[in-house]
Structure 1
Amino acid sequence: MTETPALAMHEVCRDFRRPRTSLRTAPPVVHAVRDVTVDIAPGERFGIVGESGSGKSTLLRLLCGLDQPSSGSIEITGRPIHDQPARRLGWLRETLQLVFQDPMSSLDPRMRVRDIVAEPLVAQGQGSARERRDRVVELLDAVGMPGEAADRYPHQFSGGQRQRISVARALAPAPAILVADEPVSALDVSVRAQVLNLIDDVVEQFGLTLVFVSHDLSVVRHVCDRVAVMRQGEFVEVAPTEQLFADPQHPYTQSLLAAVPDLHAALAGRAAADLARGAREATPPQ
């Protein structure tokens, strides 16, 4: 028996009309998403990568039920989300949760962490007050935050810690799918690896399906099993991650990979420079 995909998109399109510039011409149509078809298996870590303006954000809005496709279909765990009013998509909020790009703007500064993490549970009427408190403690521990963090406010934490709180909030209703929208692009380089490792850990621990969206191929390579390269609203290439990096087929993918810095070469160059600087400083002046 074939397993039901966690997420299935079939010929999904989303078109927008620009304002009319002349009474004699029809408004031009912008094809933000064009004929996207893909099945994502339960437990898979699926990356979507592309430059700014490639259609990633529009596609995310469609996946989250915040917008409707112009044509095509989207199913989450076998249930369609297109052509349904928002009031009937309450189940989707429990099944799919989103980690946003900027944790400072996505966390209410007036709320304590305990209320932020419990917010999805309150909205969906899950558990008693005591059960929600216990769930908050459990989730903060799962993302590496101390229990006393529950009584503090977002501004009292670093960017990496705030993103950990965002992950805890997303995990609160026990979703099947976690969507991460550029989750480390607003963070310092020094903490990006920590947050990526956290996402990797919670996906494994909670048995989640991951949809990871980024403009950075090197980041996607770190966490994803399979990658879709998006350009001008289309998936121009979909392949297992290592296959994509080893043998990219589409010219656009090849150009993106050519622009990825060689991290090992950069680190070796930096080490050589530090060594040379140390040698100069150790040499007495003539």
Structure 2
Amino acid sequence: MNIVVLVKQVPDTAAERTLSEADHTLDREGADLVLDEINERAAEEALVLKATLGAEISVVSMGPDSALDAIRKVLAMGADRGIHICDDRLQGSDAVTTARVLAAAVRTVADVDLVLAGNATTDGQAGVVPAVVADLLGVPQLTHIRELTVDAGRVRAERETENGEVTLDAPLPALVSVTEKINEPRYPSFKGIMAAKKKPVETVALDDLFPDADDAGFLVTRTRVVEAVPRPARAAGIRVTDDGSAGRQLVDYLIAQRLL
């Protein structure tokens, strides 16, 4: 069984983040970058399947040179090989272009049975890339999954959304995107970290994935940020001293704010 895990390096949500003055994209030079948490859970699920079904795991990530760290972490967890899509022309790619490039990279892996991804990344939160990748690959998509079983050439999954729960079933090959409820990812062991340094990672560019395309026909992004301003400082609140009329003061304030 061959499994592909899609991962992304994102800014640490607990650290300070700033935007570039030139194009208002993330200033990666000043950001603390980490493997996205939901992607870790997708990788963990792949490793569980590897232990039970004897699967081979390929890790695919699109990003600058630093994205190799995200790939190496999943290799240290136990994945077998990596594919790093690195091309300056992909900076600022939108969701459609990202999905198109990832799908092309998945196609380079022979006989893929299952593609695993997080349901959304913590930096963009678009939540559409896995679905678009599945559509481009022409495989069934099972999204927002919290429990997964693979058996007899089929995948069975429990899906949870804000509207309820449902059981999904599809033949392989298929794509599954998972939520944070799927599992608790393991920590790479020292042995795994050392072994990851020797595992193969292939670096590919746009020309490798789309040899017949030219720059004019490859639209990297269809949107751009024209302006970004700092969040305004939080204004001081209004303190109400209860002299017997506090209730009336609160009601008057809510009416003034059009909350009542």
Report if TM-score (shorter chain) is over 0.5: no
Q: TM-score, normalised by structure 1?
A: 0.26
**Structure ranking higher in helix proportion:** 1
Q: TM-score, normalised by structure 2?
A: 0.28
